[in-house]
Amino acid sequence: MFTDHWSLITDFLQLLVAGLATGAIYALAAIGFTLLWQTSQTINFAQGEFVMLPAFFVLAAMNVGLPLPAAIVAGIAASVLVLGVLFKQLVVDPMLRHGVLPLVISTIALGLLLKEGVKEFYGAEAQSFPPLGADLNVSIGGASISVQSLVVIAAAVVAVAALQLFLAHTRTGRSMQATAQNPAVARILGIPVERMILYTFLINAALTALASILVTPIYLAKFTNGEWLGLYAFIAAIVGGFNQVRGAIVGGLLLGIVDNFAAAYLSAAYRSALPLVILVVVILFRPQGLLGRLEERSV
Amino acid sequence: MTASALRIAACAVAAVVLIAAPFGLKPYGIYVLSLWAVTVIAAIGLNLTLGYAGQVSLAQAAFVGIGAYIAALLTTNGWPFTAAYVLAFAACFAVGWLLGYPALRVQHHYLAFVTLAFNTLVFLMFRNEEWLTGGIYGINRVPRPELFGVSTASPRAFYYFCLVHLVLVAAAAWWLIRSPWGRAFVAVRENPLRAAALGVDTRRYTLMAFALGAGLGGVSGALYAALLQYVDPTPFSLTLSLNLLLMVVVGGSGYFLGPFLGGAVAVLLPEWLRFAQNYYLFGYALVVMVLMVFCPTGLIGLGARLVKLLPKQTAAAGKPAP
């Protein structure tokens, strides 16, 4: 199969870059997922559909004649409005007093609603989606690496770095962290907790919109995309550590790399089983995740 | 008329309708009604695990699948249906017991994800292990059983076969819920620490809740295989688990009649609302979300609330059975 050691290395490099690119997309969705959990105990079972939908907003904006950059801005704005503001106010807020399970059910139903909505009102066929970079490969030391992957990695790194800077170095960001750690104390300290929670929802919507725009050129826009994207976002969040942004990044990258290497070197039929096995092993033997802290179990 | 009399009357009407229905229906209608009975059995199982014992399980479809494949494999190889049926229950009971172990370590959303992963793994196995399951082509020509020399091959006969099973399962569940076991399940759900302090072996009851729920999933699967006479992996994906979860919660999780109503909404209603076509699922999702906001206890809870709005003397008896 391999002619010499050098092709072994270039193959490895190609898989690594492709894995990092898909992993970065999983990480974006997983970060939003953990942020929502931290600040409002929302387990969003519709997170996959949140990554599926924004691409259709962009496509719809292009259908009315906007050029790609403007359509992307419009798509992100629509996502922040629908998946951020409306999601919080119409779905989450009325449910919080009922506890975790009814909210989980409600987000499962929301996922179904978004999926069926796109299928009925936009179309069931997969739509092609314009790539952000040139659709070609560059050769680095003999390894052929797609520009797409590099664009995805760069965009994700910029987004995560901006998020970390915002959370750690601005007043609002620190208030959000305080809200996540202890809402009661945050409120006593005069932090507008409600508004901070709203910001979390907006950030989640923006992150999933970005993930959507990055992932859709690779996998086409299809209403069923949310099914596996959501699963991978959950797995990334849990494997990395449910209560840590860092954990979601590590979990996402790990999953992307494992997935790509498993597809190349292990059985293709059981490729999708490996992330699930990792999930079960992590939950059973290290439920706080690879980087997570132990949460005390409430009585 | 008091609320309990109202309830008995409603159940009697439902029983008469269910027994008489096949005489007014075409074979397809009878098939849909049989499918309802089979689905409700799986939902009753999930209601034991989720509604009474409070353990979130997204793996019920996997157990329906395991039951269906066991029944299909054994009966196509000449085994009697009864043996296949008992084995389907026993195997799912055992696997459910094992799946319960994670529930002893992790709770809530973690448990949801472990069971979700289990469901998808089982699905992949159905699809990929072609030597056993026939892969995507599935298993054809699953025979329908013969009971005391009477064949159940006709749609009507098999419908009654399913209905009898539904009644037996429902009676067993009714008895279980009122037994000390059922009370222990509720105790584990409401406050595991307190239950343990009062001497309830929470470990055993958590495992038992999983195992029994899974076992009923297996029973449902065995009937499903004989109903369709064909088994392939598609129906047993995560989607069915999510649908069963929605059924239990929409009907009323932790209420005896919840699965019957939830099953009716998910299986029968789409057939009557054929004119809505593909928009049905869209509307269904919307209704579930609205229902969760206003009445997280589901349709039964909604009914109980409406009964409370009736004049005073009926309200006293209006509290539904736990």
Domain count for chain B: 1
In tens, the pLDDT along A148-199 reads 889 999 999 999 999 999 999 999 999 999 998 888 899 999 999 999 999 9
Instruction: List CB contacts (< 8 A) between A112 and chain B.
Output: 242, 281, 284-285
Question: Is residue B293 in some structural domain?
Answer: no
Cβ-defined contact of B105 to A284 (cutoff 8 Å): yes
Interface test with B, best of A283, A286, A297, A298 (most B CBs within 10 A): A283
Structure tokens of A208?
A: 């999933």
- Closest Cα in chain B, distance from residue A228 (Å): 11
Cβ-defined contact of A109 to B289 (cutoff 8 Å): yes
Choose between B14 and A77: higher pLDDT: A77
Cβ-defined contact of B102 to A231 (cutoff 8 Å): no
The listed range with the strongest mean pLDDT (A286-290, B44-48, B81-85) is B44-48
Q: Is the pLDDT of residue A243 over 90?
A: no
Cβ-defined contact of B285 to A231 (cutoff 8 Å): no
Q: Is A86 on the interface with B (CB under 8 A)?
A: no
ipTM > 0.90, yes or no:
no
Question: Is residue B111 in some structural domain?
Answer: yes
CB-based contact A120:B278 (threshold 8 Å)? yes
Confidence of residue B211 (pLDDT cuts 50, 70, 90): very high
Over pLDDT 70: what percentage of chain B?
94
Q: Is the pLDDT of residue B318 over 50?
A: no
Ranking A22-26, A101-105, A246-250, A267-271 by mean pLDDT, the lowest is: A267-271
Report how far residue A85's alpha carbon sits from residue B248's, in angstroms, rounded to the nearest whole number: 30
Cβ-defined contact of A231 to B116 (cutoff 8 Å): yes
Report how far residue B180's alpha carbon sits from residue B110's, in angstroms, rounded to the nearest whole number: 28
Instruction: List CB contacts (< 8 A) between A100 and chain B.
Output: 108-109
Q: Where are the domains of chain A?
A: 16-285
The nearest alpha carbon in chain A to B245 belongs to A105
Confidence of residue B319 (pLDDT cuts 50, 70, 90): very low
Instruction: List CB contacts (< 8 A) between A91 and chain B.
Output: 289
β-bridge partners, A137 = A146
Is the Cα dihedral B234, B239, B244, B250 positive or negative? Answer: negative
Instruction: List CB contacts (< 8 A) between B285 and chain A.
Output: 109-110, 112-113, 116
Question: Is residue B284 in some structural domain?
Answer: no
Q: What pLDDT sits at residue B32?
A: 93
Confidence of residue B232 (pLDDT cuts 50, 70, 90): very high
Structure tokens of B282?
A: 């869209």
**Average of per-residue pLDDT across A13-21:** 91
Give the DSSP letter string of A152-202: HHHHHHHHHHHHHHHHHHSHHHHHHHHHHH-HHHHHHTT--HHHHHHHHHH
The nearest alpha carbon in chain B to A44 belongs to B109
In chain B, positions 3-32, which contact chain A (CB-CB < 8 Å)? none
Ranking B81-85, B93-97, B122-126, B144-148 by mean pLDDT, the lowest is: B144-148
Ranking A40-44, A167-171, B10-14, B317-321 by mean pLDDT, the lowest is: B317-321
Question: Is residue B252 in some structural domain?
Answer: no
**Average of per-residue pLDDT across A80-91:** 94
Cβ-defined contact of A91 to B118 (cutoff 8 Å): no
In chain A, positions 89-118, which contact chain B (CB-CB < 8 Å)? 91, 94-95, 98-106, 108-110, 112-113, 116-117
Using DSSP, state whether A137 is helix, strand or coil. strand
**Average of per-residue pLDDT across B293-318:** 73
CATH code for residues A16-285: 1.10.3470
Among partner residues B106, B110, B278, which is closest to A120 by beta-carbon distance?
B278
Instruction: List CB contacts (< 8 A) between B56 and chain A.
Output: 101, 104
In chain B, positions 82-121, which contact chain A (CB-CB < 8 Å)? 102, 105-110, 112-114, 116-118, 120-121
Ranking A152-161, B36-45, B101-110 by mean pLDDT, the lowest is: B101-110
Q: Is the pLDDT of residue A24 over 90?
A: yes
Q: Cβ of B167: how many Cβ atoms within 10 Å?
A: 13
Q: What pLDDT sits at residue A62?
A: 93
Q: What pLDDT sits at residue A254?
A: 93
In tens, the pLDDT along B155-166 reads 899 999 999 999
Q: What pLDDT sits at residue B312?
A: 55
Q: What pLDDT sits at residue B187?
A: 87
In tens, the pLDDT along B117-176 reads 899 999 999 998 889 888 889 898 888 887 777 788 888 999 999 999 999 999 999 999
Confidence of residue A297 (pLDDT cuts 50, 70, 90): very low
Q: Is the pLDDT of residue B109 over 80?
A: no
Q: Is B1 on the interface with A (CB under 8 A)?
A: no
Structure tokens of A175?
A: 């208030």
Q: Is the pLDDT of residue A141 over 80?
A: no
Q: What pLDDT sits at residue B311?
A: 63
Q: What pLDDT sits at residue A12?
A: 87
β-bridge partners, A145 = A138
Size of interface A-B (CB pairs under 8 A): 106
Question: Is residue B267 in some structural domain?
Answer: no
Interface test with B, best of A43, A113, A119, A282 (most B CBs within 10 A): A113
CB-based contact B184:B265 (threshold 8 Å)? no
**Average of per-residue pLDDT across A33-47:** 88
Q: What pLDDT sits at residue A3?
A: 58
For chain A, report the end-to-end CA distance as a whole number of angstroms: 57
Ranking A44-53, B77-86, B105-114, B218-227 by mean pLDDT, the lowest is: B105-114
Residues 6+ apart with CB under 8 A from A40: A92, A96, A197, A200, A201
Q: Is A284 on the interface with B (CB under 8 A)?
A: yes
Cβ-defined contact of B117 to A94 (cutoff 8 Å): no
Q: What pLDDT sits at residue A76?
A: 96
Cβ-defined contact of B281 to A112 (cutoff 8 Å): yes
In tens, the pLDDT along A193-225 reads 999 999 999 999 999 999 999 999 988 999 999
Report how far residue B41's alpha carbon sits from residue B92's, in angstroms, rounded to the nearest whole number: 14
**Average of per-residue pLDDT across B181-193:** 86
Q: What pLDDT sits at residue A294?
A: 63
Q: Is the pLDDT of residue B26 over 50?
A: yes
Q: Is the pLDDT of residue B302 over 60?
A: yes
Confidence of residue A298 (pLDDT cuts 50, 70, 90): very low
Question: Is residue B229 in some structural domain?
Answer: yes
The nearest alpha carbon in chain A to B130 belongs to A269
Give the DSSP letter string of A27-91: HHHHHHHHHHHHHH----TTHHHHHHHHHHHHHHHHHTT--HHHHHHHHHHHHIIIIIIIIIIII
Question: Is residue B193 in some structural domain?
Answer: yes
Q: Is A15 on the interface with B (CB under 8 A)?
A: no
Choose between B236 and A265: higher pLDDT: B236
Residue B106, Cβ density class (10 Å: 0-12 exposed, 13-18 middle, ≥19 buried): middle
